[in-house]
Amino acid sequence: MDFAVSPKMEKILTKVRTFVREELYPLEPQVLNEGFSSVLPILEEKRAKVRAMGLALPQIEKEHGGMGLSVLEHGLVQAELAKTYTGVYCFNCQAPDAGNMEILIKYGTPEQQERFLKPLLAGKTRSCFSMTEVDYPGSNPTWMGTTAVKDGDDYVINGHKWFTSSYDGAEFAIVMAVTNPDAPKHGRASQIIVPIDTPGFTLVENISCMGHRGEGWDSHAEVRYENVRVPQSNLLGAEGAGFLIAQERLGPGRIHHCMRWVGISERAFELMCEQALTREVAPDRALATQQVVQTWISECRAEINAARLMVLQAADTIDRLGAKEARVEISLIKFFVPNVMMKVLDRAIQLHGGRGITEHTPLATFWRNERASRIYDGPDEVHKMSAGKRILELFRAEMARDQG
Q: What is the distance between the alpha carbons of residues 139 and 376, in angstroms, rounded to a whole number?
A: 9
pLDDT band at 2 (very low <50, low <70, confident <90, very high): low
Residues 392 and 404: their CA atoms lie apart, in Å, by: 18
Taking the CA atoms of residue 352, residue 355, residue 357 and residue 358 in that order, the dihedral angle to the nearest 10 degrees is: -150
The confidence band for 139, taking pLDDT boundaries of 50, 70 and 90, is: confident
DSSP states along 26-72: GGHHHHHHH-GGGGHHHHHHHHHHHHHTT-S-TTS-GGGTS----HH
Average of per-residue pLDDT values in the chain: 93
- Please give the pLDDT value at position 250: 65
**Nearest-angstrom CA–CA distance, 311 and 1:** 12
The secondary structure of 243-265 as a DSSP string is: HHHHHHHHHHHHHHHHHHHHHHH
Number of DSSP helices (H) and strands (E) in the chain, helices first: 13, 11
pLDDT at 212 (0 to 100): 87
When pLDDT is cut at 50, 70 and 90, the band that residue 225 belongs to is: very high
Sign of the alpha-carbon torsion through 376, 130, 317, 3: negative
pTM score: 0.90
Q: Is 52 exposed, middle or buried (0-12, 13-18, 19+ CB in 10 A)?
A: exposed
pLDDT value, residue 4: 75
pLDDT for res 251: 58
Alpha carbon distance 386, 369 (integer Å): 26
Amino acid at 72: L
**For the chain, what percent of residues have pLDDT higher than 90?**
80
What is the CATH T-level fold of the domain 127-236, as seen in this structure?
A: Butyryl-CoA Dehydrogenase, subunit A; domain 2 (2.40.110)
The helix/strand/coil state of 150 is: strand
pLDDT tens for 325-360 read 999 999 999 999 999 999 999 999 999 999 999 999
Task: Collect all residues with Cβ–Cβ distance below 8 Å to 42 and sequence separation of at least 6.
Answer: 27
Q: Are 143 and 134 in contact (CB under 8 A)?
A: no
The per-residue pLDDT for 84 is 96
Tell me the CA distances in angstroms from 184 to 143, 188, 240, one per residue in order.
Answer: 11, 6, 10
Mean pLDDT (whole number) for 28-39: 92
Q: Compute CA 233 distance to the chain's CA centroid, rounded to the nearest angstrom.
A: 28
Task: Return the percentage of the chain with pLDDT > 70, whole number.
Answer: 98
Spans of all domains in the chain: 7-121, 127-236, 244-403
pLDDT tens profile 272-290: 999 999 999 899 999 999 9
* Residue 161 φ then ψ, to 5°: -115, 160
CATH superfamily for 244-403 is Butyryl-CoA Dehydrogenase, subunit A, domain 3 (1.20.140.10)
Helices 242-278 & 71-81 angle (0-180, nearest 10): 40
Query: How confident is the model over 36-45, as a mean pLDDT?
Result: 94
**Which whole number is the average pLDDT over 151-168?**
96
Rounded mean pLDDT, 21-34? 95
- Residue with the bigger pLDDT between 11 and 281: it is 11
pLDDT, tens digit (0-9, with 9 covering 90-100), for 160-216: 999 999 999 999 999 999 999 999 989 999 999 999 999 999 999 999 998 888 899
The sign of the CA dihedral 388, 391, 395, 396 is positive
Q: Which amino acid type is present at position 69?
A: L
- Fold topology of 7-121: Butyryl-Coa Dehydrogenase, subunit A; domain 1 (1.10.540)
Give dist(CA 388, CA 394) in Å, integer. 10
Rounded CA separation 254/343 (Å): 19
8 Å CB contact between 215 and 37: yes
Whether 103 and 142 have beta carbons less than 8 Å apart is answered as: no
pLDDT at position 40, please? 94
Instruction: Give me the mean pLDDT over the 217-229 stretch.
Output: 96
Q: What distance in Å separates the CA atoms of residue 75 and residue 308, rounded to the nearest whole number?
A: 10
pLDDT in tens, 249-277: 665 677 888 999 999 999 999 999 999 99
